[in-house]
Structure 1
Amino acid sequence: MTAASTAPVSAFLEQRLLAELQAKKIVIWLDADGAYTVFVDELRRRAEARQFSTPVLAFRGSFLELMLALRQEGSTIDKPPLLLHLPGFNTESIRKTPALEMYECGAAFQQNLATLVREAANGRLPLPDIEAFVTAPDLSLEKADAWLARAGSASLDTHAEWVSRLEAPEFVNHLTGTSSERPDGAIRALQARAEALFGTDAAWFRKMPELTEAVVAWLLCVEFVHDLRRPPRAPDLMRLQSLPPPTVKRCQAEAARLRQMLPEQYRTWALGVEVWLKDKEQTDPKDLGRIDTFQFEALSIYQGAVAALASGDYRQALHWAQAHEASQGFWVQHEPPRRWAWALVGEAASLGVALLEAPRPLSGVTSLEEAVQRYVESAAAVDRAHREFEQRFAALYGPLLPELTALDQAFEKLRFAHSDWSDRLARDFAQLCRQTGSLPPPEIQQRTLFDQVIAPLLGRGERVALFVLDALRFEMALELQEEFKASGVNVELRARLAELPTVTSVGMNALAPVGREGRLFPVIKEGRFEGFRTGEALVARPDDRVKAMATRSEGRAPLHLRSIAELLETPAPRLKSQVSRTQLIIVHGQELDEAGESGLGVRVFQDVLRDVISARHHLELAGVSHFVLTADHGFLLGRGRKAHSFGARGQAQRRYAYSDTDRMDPGHFTLPLSTLGYEAKGFLVFREDTAEYDVGRPPGSFTHGGNSLQERVIPVLQLSRTRASRETGLRFTLQCETAPGGPGVHRLRVRASPAREPGQAPLAFASSQPVDVLMRVPQRADVRVVPKDIIGPGASAHAGSVRLDAATHDWTEVSFVLEGAVDERLPVELVLASDANVKASPPAFYSVSYVALPQPAVTRAPATSASEAPVSPKPLGGWGARLGDEDAGKVFDHLERFGSLNEAELIQLLGNARRARSFAARFDAFRDKLTFEVQVTMTADGKRYERL
């Protein structure tokens, strides 16, 4: 027979000592009660016979003998493994002995005998039996060994013998994987084993007679009680607090394993326990821990986070959101709308915290240079957090989100807080401009950028790519900076102030070298800026700017790429040939501004930034080693912006007005053009806040032209490598397959992995790089793919794309919807962002969620062929046919299918604000004819229509 069976407590103690010796090397055992002398003497005998791996020394009345024995064991400097037993001493009395030096060199070890017996017997015998034994008089190690050995001896009851040998995972597997009909003997044995492993008792089994239900409920309740930050309130749970730590740990491990291995059954069990537990344990979410054992915990913390958002306690809301993201809570992971809601709460809380950390960024500022620096250091983070929140909102918001009304109110208050912050920042900057003027020093002027940044690079013979990106806001460059740094590029990001007004015709043309001795010569017609004169030439169009830049770059004519799309679509050999024939490459990118002006901004901004990253990479492979990315202006992003009248209709643009005379309107400030270094007469009038002027159409969420820092601070992002990158030959493959859909979403699985030629070794560095995959509907620009959620190692979702970890072989599951103003089923295509030739499509067609996407503004009407017949309007259908009203039909068809519609979406759906107002006026006339109720509420964004 083994020592573990004949002396189980001693065997348990020996294993603990070996672990301590392995970790600490020199262990000083302070045995104050002398309870282990016989055990240690046996260890010494075994050590001398080389049956125990570590030398054992013991004090047996003579310190002289002990010191001599220690000398034979070698220097303590080398720290050879050693166990020194000192009976009768504790941490105080040892200091008065010659063994003090040895004590201070080693690690003290103390072991209470009763605690040792409890831990050794835990999981073998019921807790009451263990407690009765250790509290009996004359407890000794020898008695404990004999008692526990008898308890573990074979039983005449075959059920009891078999069950008593089951470890916790085997026991739970047996309970949850077999029929509930068991012989009486087996049930009694299983109950006894549950008492030994998990601490269950007779009172618990009387409350829940069914064995599996009782044991699972006990496991969940133990986990719940020991995750609470306060004592439980339910009387049945109070005694669970006193369970020994090993028992608690065993219960927690099995509860977690049930969630992972049997999620559907776990859900049923947990909801069943919740029925009698929920009312007793409803609590403040701050009392709950990190584990959502029960659904009411997940709901309580979510409600608490939403309430914290609404009350302005953003740090608490962010703490809960981050804790849930880290814990990957069971209820959140199995309810996609709840995951989306938590993602939105996290983004909103991040914005709120950013607002708290930068309440008045320009406080104490006395110069434009200092104002720009303060914006870069603190305020830009607020604008980035706001954009990222609105991007996630556009992708994830919908009627399936839990607690939607409370969530709407929290978001509304947050948007008001951000709007107030933006107005304060704009007013503070306007006041600074009154005091110091609005023209900054040459070092941060937009008009000097070419001469100060581009010309020196060209003068050194460098090949330079200049990206002039319409509406690239400074905070967007912060995101690009992070991406480029991660890819090993040398990055330098600086800020400049855009020229006024912050419109494309000013900023884009000022980036060309059009100044003379620091002065600009604007061309203004009817209050609108058209461009600048340089000598006899007018610089007003992209080609004009390229010509102006060519005059400052000696030698070959610049290569002009008119859009990011043109660059990405140019075949690599052709692009390399074009680059080799020039020194300056100029890339115009209007995609950000076009998206913002069309109303699609937050839905596609992220896609455009990904395209910019890909475009730079394409040029680098073509032989360009230096890059400069800059913008003509930034923009303001917000909802519910007010429009104010100014003078006669048409006198004002959205964010500025031109005046022949000085003005003193309240809430405005006026700048003579001459103070801006312009050779022109007249004045520019700006609002002090972020509101717009009334130009005959409702304000959108995207605007620019004014003097706010969001509009004026532009990035100058310089990128370089010591040596231009070369094509590595690395390729990736894409695989995708269908997956079962969820509530309101489609799903597919995708994975990317390095492609290797036969015989090629794996490239570890390649698989460590993230892979961006675009999602689109082929040949259909009118339908967008919107990723809602993504589950997979190292994966993340972005607008219109997903980022995968190529180092894993696991599938990544993507939840998504198709959005468009069509009623069709369409295929989806996945394309590598870095190589458009690598594609994959799941073998399925997906329905389109009706969303009236705004279309980009058309610059000129297309020519109409005589052979093209006009398209007949579609006949009325659905609610349009029933009500005899096309616009009402569109609205009620949408509400019947999607559940809600806000005022901005109503305008998009019907085409213009006039038709939306007309519908609102007729709304009550349709109510009695509907088969469902519609509730109308007022929000910060206007009316919201919601199907009940």
Structure 2
Amino acid sequence: MHPLHDYISKQLAERLKARKVVVWYDARREFASFVTELRGSARTSDEAVPVTVGGMAARLTEYDGSMFELRAVAEPFVCGDAPAECMIVYLPGCERDRHGSVLMELEKAGDCYEPQLKRLARNVLRQRYTDGVIDDMLSPERVSYEDLARASSDTSSTEPPSVLKSIFHSTSGNDGIIASWLASDERDAEIKVKEAIRELVKLVRSKLGLELPEDAASPKLRSITLRYVLAGEFRSDLGSAPPSALDAIPAPKTKDEEAAVRELAHQLRTKFSDGYPAMADRVEAELGLRDVAVPAGTLGSIDTFRFEERVLLAHCGDLVAAKKFDEALDVISGREHSFWLDRDVGRKAQWEACRRMAELGSLGMAVRAAVGKAGGDANAWIDAYATKDGWFRLDQAQRRLEAWVANLDDEPEERPLGVVRGVYEDACRAMADGFTKALVAAKWTVSAFLHQTRIYSEVVSEQPKPVAYFFVDAMRFEMGVELTERLPKSAEVSVRPAVCALPSITPIGMAALQPGASSSFSVTEQTGTLGVRIDDAFLPDLAARKKFAASRVPRLADVALDELLSLQPSKLAKRIEGAQVIIVRSQEIDHAGERGFTFQARQVMDTVIDNLARAIRKLAAAGVEHCVLTADHGHLFFPSDRDESMRIEAPGGDEIDLHRRCWIGRGGATPPGCVRVTASALGYESDLDFVFPFGSGVFKAGGDLAFHHGGPSLQEMIIPVVTVRMKAREAEKSTAGPVTATGLPDAVTNRIFSVTIQLDGRNLSLFSNELVVRPLLVSAGKQVGGVGMAVDGDFDRATGCVKLQAGKRVTVAFLLSDESSPSLRVVIQDPTTDAELYRSPVDIPVRLGV
């Protein structure tokens, strides 16, 4: 037979296999010749004759003027619940009666078939011809089955086989031929030599509805078609009248042509993604679209051109500046997988900054509204701040935004950033003002929450030994919550709020964490020096506190966080050998903030959280299963210096110490906007007075004007108490895991850079088809960066983890947080076990600014 017969037979066979009976209406008698071929000879009787259809045995019965006679012939073969034989009931010249057909029972029980010859033939002819040529072949009204059978034959066609198909022999389908031709001119010479321009013009007209001149060369035709396709997609996606720049570009006339245009543009972006930017940029420039004022709100969901992404980001900034935060988040969510953003980490980072601005603004407005409704109970204020989904999330959103902005090479638009910073400051000011008033009303007593002086006696001393006791200078409550999210899921972790001792400065808070502070604790001065007295010991500084702790805790080890992370496992084990309590000190946050290094402080905060988690895991590997982490105080941290109107003159008098957020001394005058409290009112055996600004005001004193602490705000006073139990185990160092990384830079020249990671086939039987991993940047044993964004992968911003699926590449954008690192390595861990799944083979030098 021939391809057309074989194709129709296959269609019938599939229907017979599914339903056993096919009632076939052929109103135009288009398939009469096929039925003759099927029968094998001329019809000689009214009986049902045996035939073979696509390899299946069946009976064929044909209409010859009487529906009742036809039914009578078919019924013996199809009666019963399961027909014994397959049956084709062929009705040439008959229209189907959908309401009163004599064959209704057969139609319901089987499959009613009403094919069109030209439609079936087109599917067969596509094996040899392009759609433009097929259009010409099918255009005669009375084209017959025999004509189409000859055209489909390898040897008897009246048309030569497609030249374009031979030129684009490795390309599938007509859409694929057009897309390949638009994406590259490498076959232009062959198209010209083989005189395939005419066929190409026909194909474009057939698929897209675009009339092209047959006498033009391939490059000109390509330029015309590319403008038509990209302008057509852009126009169809637009929610308003198209700009006049598109007036000269014809539009598709039918829905099918419009769908073909959109599908072709999609193919160009997905199958020819490397070349698409140049194509789109060329058309954008030719049409002058980047200079056209297109309302951002009318741009659709597809970013055909590069200018759309930039217009929409500016629009999001305007929405944020107008405090329409939820609208901005909707736009941002709709652009998460934009073609342009997936290929440009720098632009994606700008969108991420806008997302964080909108999230901070939205939270700020919600918290500000809740603060306005809060009552006068200080315990209720703390509960609202520290409960799950409490107000602390506002501080977390602010830190994440400021840390992100600090890592950008190009800072976001100033206006929206200024607006959300203002929203945050307004909420903080209201919180500080309301909480201070609540404390005054409660006579500075909060009974429902753990006090800082009881952390050692009620938490640390109750832990099985050995236990690590972390003193993290200036760690806010929200940072403690985030730390718990970055620890392995196999660890037993809890976090609770504690109220720090006033004033919330390092000498006081660190002393309050000492053993014995729960029974004897007073803030006092000795020979003009501020300090804390516990029993008969005066603790004014670190040296005194270290000596005191060593005298109270037998077998005590004391190590700085930086040193712990830098020590080799064997040296760490020796360093803490026999110790029952290991004090781990971290001063990175306060050190950067207090010295006015605002930019570095923003960067270092995220790094400290990750390095604390790293230290806990390292201690667990060394046999220290239990850890308690807390802080001396929190902090207020704004992006810029306090306005002059918020800087308050100090009270004067007998001044012992002065900080931005507290005055300590005797006498003097309480400035407007401040509150004075005696030491005795705070439970101290001392004659000192303390003066604190209301709200977020500061004294005119030394110290940073953006980062400060010492006062009675929730951010300064509410500290985290994190308890961790992580089972001891040997640290896994395997570097032959199931994850691979490509695109590693020769050197890190920007704080944000991308690497592509993938779940490899090797050792995959040990893992599922998907795996959650934690990619890190590590230098000298310390974490110096992590993932900030992911393309084509699920990314958890709280934990820094990415979900990988077998065979699917994910591009991650790393943020380098510690610029002082001379070199680094990319490390990928299993967050559940900390097993190392990948480590880059060599150190990557850091050369920022190169």
Same topology, TM > 0.5: yes
- How far the C-alpha of 1:481 sits from its partner, in A, is 1.3
- How far the C-alpha of 1:509 sits from its partner, in A, is 1.2
Aligned counterpart for 1:586 among listed residues 558, 583, 586: 583
Partner of 2:360: 351
Q: Retained in 2: the 8 A contact 1:592–1:605? A: yes
Cα distance between partner residues in 2 of 1:465 and 1:515: 18
- How far the C-alpha of 1:14 sits from its partner, in A, is 6.4
Partner of 1:633: 633
- How far the C-alpha of 1:478 sits from its partner, in A, is 2.1
User: For each residue in 1:255-290, what CA deviation from the matched residue of structure 2 results, as whole angstroms up to 9, or x when unmatched?
Assistant: 224542425xx4145423542262797422232233
- How far the C-alpha of 1:743 sits from its partner, in A, is 9.8
Partner of 1:828: 823
Change (3 A) 1:146 1:47: closer
Cα distance between partner residues in 1 of 2:529 and 2:401: 34
- How far the C-alpha of 1:120 sits from its partner, in A, is 5.1
Tell me, yes or no, if structure 1 residue 617 matches structure 2 residue 614: no
Cα distance between partner residues in 2 of 1:688 and 1:47: 97
Partner of 1:200: 210
- How far the C-alpha of 1:695 sits from its partner, in A, is 0.5
Q: Retained in 1: the 8 A contact 2:367–2:427? A: no
- How far the C-alpha of 1:198 sits from its partner, in A, is 3.9
Partner of 1:474: 477
Aligned counterpart for 2:650 among listed residues 640, 646, 651: 646
Q: Retained in 1: the 8 A contact 2:230–2:280? A: no
Tell me, yes or no, if structure 1 residue 284 matches structure 2 residue 285: no
- How far the C-alpha of 1:201 sits from its partner, in A, is 2.5
Partner of 2:393: 381
Alignment of 1:73-472 (within 5 A): 88=96, 153=157, 155-156=159-160, 159=163, 162=166, 167=173, 168-174=175-181, 176-178=184-186, 180=188, 182-183=192-193, 185-202=195-212, 210-230=220-240, 232=242, 234-235=246-247, 236-239=249-252, 242-244=255-257, 247-248=260-261, 250-257=263-270, 259-263=272-276, 266-268=277-279, 270-276=281-287, 278=289, 282-327=293-338, 329-330=339-340, 332-333=341-342, 335=344, 337-362=346-371, 363-376=373-386, 377-398=389-410, 407-441=413-447, 443-458=449-464, 462-472=465-475
Q: Retained in 1: the 8 A contact 2:25–2:90? A: no
User: For each residue in 1:346-376, what CA deviation from the matched residue of structure 2 results, as whole angstroms up to 9, or x when unmatched?
Assistant: 3222222322443334333453333223213
Q: Retained in 2: the 8 A contact 1:502–1:632? A: yes
Cα distance between partner residues in 1 of 2:165 and 2:802: 54
- How far the C-alpha of 1:188 sits from its partner, in A, is 1.2
Tell me the TM-score normalised to structure 1 length. 0.68
Q: Retained in 2: the 8 A contact 1:57–1:66? A: no
Change (3 A) 1:838 1:524: farther
Alignment of 1:805-844 (within 5 A): 828-830=823-825, 841=842
Paired amino acid for 1:351: L
Q: Retained in 1: the 8 A contact 2:208–2:260? A: yes
Partner of 2:499: 497
Alignment of 1:463-862 (within 5 A): 463-484=466-487, 486-515=488-517, 520-524=521-525, 529-531=530-532, 533-542=533-542, 545=545, 557-577=554-574, 579=576, 581-598=578-595, 599=597, 600-638=600-638, 639-642=640-643, 643-648=647-652, 652-658=658-664, 660=666, 665-696=671-702, 699-721=704-726, 723-728=727-732, 730-731=734-735, 739=745, 764=767, 769-774=773-778, 828-830=823-825, 841=842, 846=847, 848=849
Cα distance between partner residues in 2 of 1:316 and 1:817: 31
Change (3 A) 1:625 1:171: same
Cα distance between partner residues in 2 of 1:301 and 1:55: 64
Change (3 A) 1:395 1:842: same
Cα distance between partner residues in 1 of 2:115 and 2:522: 90
**Relative CO higher for 1 or 2, CA cutoff 8 Å, sep ≥ 6?**
2
Partner of 1:883: none
- How far the C-alpha of 1:704 sits from its partner, in A, is 0.8
Cα distance between partner residues in 1 of 2:402 and 2:58: 64
Q: Retained in 2: the 8 A contact 1:771–1:832? A: yes
Q: Retained in 2: the 8 A contact 1:668–1:685? A: yes
- How far the C-alpha of 1:589 sits from its partner, in A, is 1.7
Q: Retained in 2: the 8 A contact 1:225–1:241? A: no
User: For each residue in 1:58-86, what CA deviation from the matched residue of structure 2 results, as whole angstroms up to 9, or x when unmatched?
Assistant: 99869995997562269xxxxxx999999
Q: Secondary structure at the match of 2:463?
A: helix
- How far the C-alpha of 1:615 sits from its partner, in A, is 0.9
Q: Retained in 2: the 8 A contact 1:314–1:353? A: yes
Change (3 A) 1:752 1:664: same
- How far the C-alpha of 1:787 sits from its partner, in A, is 9.1
User: For each residue in 1:849-880, what CA deviation from the matched residue of structure 2 results, as whole angstroms up to 9, or x when unmatched?
Assistant: 7xxxxxxxxxxxxxxxxxxxxxxxxxxxxxxx
Change (3 A) 1:817 1:829: closer
- The worse-fitting range, judged by mean Cα deviation, of 186-195 and 224-233 is 224-233
Q: Retained in 2: the 8 A contact 1:55–1:83? A: yes
Paired amino acid for 1:186: A
Change (3 A) 1:572 1:334: closer
- How far the C-alpha of 1:629 sits from its partner, in A, is 1.2
- How far the C-alpha of 1:491 sits from its partner, in A, is 1.5
Q: Retained in 2: the 8 A contact 1:504–1:632? A: yes
Cα distance between partner residues in 2 of 1:346 and 1:267: 28
Paired amino acid for 1:473: R
Cα distance between partner residues in 2 of 1:687 and 1:224: 57
Cα distance between partner residues in 2 of 1:743 and 1:228: 39
Paired amino acid for 1:169: G
Q: Retained in 2: the 8 A contact 1:751–1:804? A: no
Q: Retained in 2: the 8 A contact 1:348–1:389? A: yes
Q: Secondary structure at the match of 2:650?
A: coil
- How far the C-alpha of 1:813 sits from its partner, in A, is 8.6
Paired amino acid for 1:685: V
Paired amino acid for 2:176: P
Cα distance between partner residues in 2 of 1:54 and 1:382: 74
Paired amino acid for 1:301: L
- The worse-fitting range, judged by mean Cα deviation, of 312-321 and 81-90 is 81-90
Change (3 A) 1:66 1:336: farther
Cα distance between partner residues in 2 of 1:112 and 1:353: 58
User: For each residue in 1:730-772, what CA deviation from the matched residue of structure 2 results, as whole angstroms up to 9, or x when unmatched?
Assistant: 3469999985899978979798999x9xxx9996499864342
- How far the C-alpha of 1:470 sits from its partner, in A, is 0.9
User: For each residue in 1:524-569, what CA deviation from the matched residue of structure 2 results, as whole angstroms up to 9, or x when unmatched?
Assistant: 35997412x232223445565567667887xxx2432231022223
Q: Secondary structure at the match of 2:195?
A: helix
Residue segments in structure 2 that go unaligned for 5+ positions in a row: 40-47, 829-833
Change (3 A) 1:188 1:534: same
Cα distance between partner residues in 2 of 1:225 and 1:567: 60
Change (3 A) 1:204 1:523: farther
- The worse-fitting range, judged by mean Cα deviation, of 155-164 and 643-652 is 155-164
Q: Retained in 2: the 8 A contact 1:333–1:339? A: yes
Cα distance between partner residues in 2 of 1:489 and 1:82: 68
